[in-house]
Amino acid sequence: MLKPTDLILVCLLPNPRDLEIARLLGWYRIPLKSAPKVVSVDYLAFYQPASFGERGGQIEYIAQVRGHELTTRGELLKEEADHPRAKEEYFKLQLGELEKLKEPVKTDKWKRLTFFYSTGEYLLNAKTLNDLVVEGEERSLLWKSLRERAENELLYKTDLPEADISPEILMALLGIKDLKGEYPATGTIHLPK
């Protein structure tokens, strides 16, 4: 459930196919070379451009961000292995279910957008895209929150050192009796002496 303090990344949903990917597969892609500085946000708000026809020019859906990883376009869209950007790096943002806003946030003067940040409070009260723009002192607080997210993300490490486990213990943990031998039928692990 969207909270007023949530960090929102308003992002372009290029076409209806991308909405279906978000809805069915639960992810959204951002090219690394054009990505915003911080992708560790609470929610994405999807701006639908003219390619959506009558449903274009508005934000109709949001989705909670559950995590992200770096991959290639080719890994994300395997059916497009020959695409010119197939080897380029992309962020894959894992998403929760799409949530439809009670009332869509309409554009007024905006012609083009890719990404900008807002907050849950602004999104909950917005009627137009201009209403999502954070200004004044609140803008400073927004940037402070984004900086903290970026710093916390840098503290998160997944490159843990390899565990130094002897082959005998590893064999016991995996249930291997010996390299050529038989495996126990009961699932009992026999530790070497």
pLDDT > 90? residue 61: yes
CA distances from 178 to 84, 134, 165, 171 (A): 49, 65, 16, 8
146 and 101 together in one domain: yes
30 and 66 together in one domain: yes
pLDDT > 60? residue 192: no
In a domain, 146, yes or no: yes
105: domain CATH number?
A: 2.30.130.30
pLDDT tens per residue across span 101-111: 999 999 877 66
Cα–Cα distance measured from residue 7 to residue 43, given in angstroms and rounded to the nearest whole number: 6
Query: Mean pLDDT of all residues in the chain?
Result: 83
114 and 140 together in one domain: yes
In a domain, 89, yes or no: yes
Number of domains composing the chain: 2
pLDDT score, position 108: 78
168 and 88 together in one domain: no
Q: How far is CA 107 from the centre of its chain?
A: 24
Tokens of 144: 């402070």
11 and 94 together in one domain: yes
35 and 102 together in one domain: yes
Range of the domain at 172: 161-193
Mean pLDDT of 40-58: 94
In a domain, 2, yes or no: no
pLDDT score, position 113: 80
pLDDT tens per residue across span 112-123: 788 999 999 999
Contacts of 92 (CB under 8 A, 6+ apart): 27, 28, 29, 68, 69, 70, 71, 76
48 and 84 together in one domain: yes
